[in-house]
Structures are given as structure tokens and as C-alpha cells.
């Protein structure tokens, strides 16, 4: 068991990429498996659009996000900044054709995650910097 509070080799960049991968996974069974491996059973995810707990809550929220942003691809933006058991990172979401043209993505966010001693996410504090008007 690696303790991210004392082990400087914890790979928060890989953790953030796995987090974004979970947002992109459209197969429900595969997404549930990603969520179970990435988050603690009692995790809490909070952002301006959601306040959910546990694997079912996070998985359900990811499904809703995909429904609201059909065809969007989530990507990390910039580098991951981390210390102790916390990491922060920016992400963006857009249809692939937006990325291909270099246009600004319609959705940009900023998340802070807190991990447990096993390196699984126990808390997400999310912020939305840009969202499309509906």
C-alpha cells in the first residue's frame, strides 16, 4: 500500500488521466469498473451541478454529464499540481471537431481531488470556469 502523504512517487498525473478517462467512458459496465477502481466506496463528488457520494453517485453523475454533453471528449488541460494527498488540475470538454480546429472548448473546469492511503479518490471539489449557455 502506497501512502501518497509520504511517498513522492505517487503519480497524480496518471490519476488525473484515469479520472478524465472515466468521464470519457461511454460503456456503462466499463465506466462502473473505472469508477470502482478510481474512487473510494464512500467518496464524495461536489461541483456546481452535483453533490453525490459513493460509486453509484459518481457513476450516475458521469452518465448524466455524457447525456448533457453528447459526443464531447474530456481532456486534461495544463499540468497536474499535487502535494501530500491532494492534486489540482484543469480539464476541458468539447466535440473532437472543436479540438481539431484549435477553437476554444465550450467547457473548462478545475478540480481538486483528495486521495486515501491507497491512492484512490475520496473527495472531488470541482469548479466550472466555462459552460455553454442552455
Q: At how many degrees (to 10) do helices 12-24 and 28-38 cross?
A: 160
Q: What are the structural domains of the chain? A: 12-130 (3.10.450.50)
Confidence band of 6 (pLDDT split at 50, 70, 90): very low
Complete DSSP assignment for 66-99: HHHSTT-EEEEEEEEEEETTEEEEEEEEE-HHHH
Look over the chain and give the mean of its residue pLDDT values, rounded to a whole number: 93
Sign (positive/negative) of CA torsion 104, 105, 107, 109? negative
Whether the full predicted model's pTM is greater than 0.95, yes or no, is: no
| pLDDT confidence tier of residue 5, bands split at 50, 70 and 90 | very low
Each residue's pLDDT tens digit, 33-85: 999 999 999 999 999 999 999 999 999 999 999 999 999 999 999 999 999 99
pLDDT tops 60 at residue 20: yes
Tell me the C-alpha distance between 77 and 60, whole Å: 24
Amino acid at each position: 500500500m502506497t501512502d501518497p502523504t509520504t511517498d513522492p512517487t505517487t503519480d497524480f498525473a496518471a490519476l488525473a488521466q484515469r479520472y478524465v478517462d472515466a468521464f470519457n467512458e461511454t460503456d456503462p459496465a466499463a465506466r462502473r469498473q473505472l469508477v470502482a477502481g478510481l474512487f473510494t466506496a464512500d467518496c464524495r463528488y461536489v461541483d456546481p451541478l452535483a453533490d453525490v457520494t459513493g460509486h453509484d453517485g459518481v457513476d450516475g453523475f458521469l452518465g448524466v454529464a455524457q447525456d448533457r454533453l453528447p459526443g464531447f471528449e474530456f481532456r486534461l488541460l495544463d499540468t497536474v499540481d499535487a502535494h501530500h494527498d491532494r492534486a489540482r488540475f484543469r480539464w476541458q470538454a468539447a466535440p473532437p471537431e472543436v479540438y481539431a480546429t484549435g477553437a476554444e472548448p465550450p467547457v473548462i473546469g478545475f478540480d481538486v481531488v483528495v486521495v486515501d492511503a491507497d491512492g484512490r479518490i475520496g473527495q472531488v471539489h470541482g469548479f466550472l470556469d466555462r459552460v455553454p449557455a442552455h
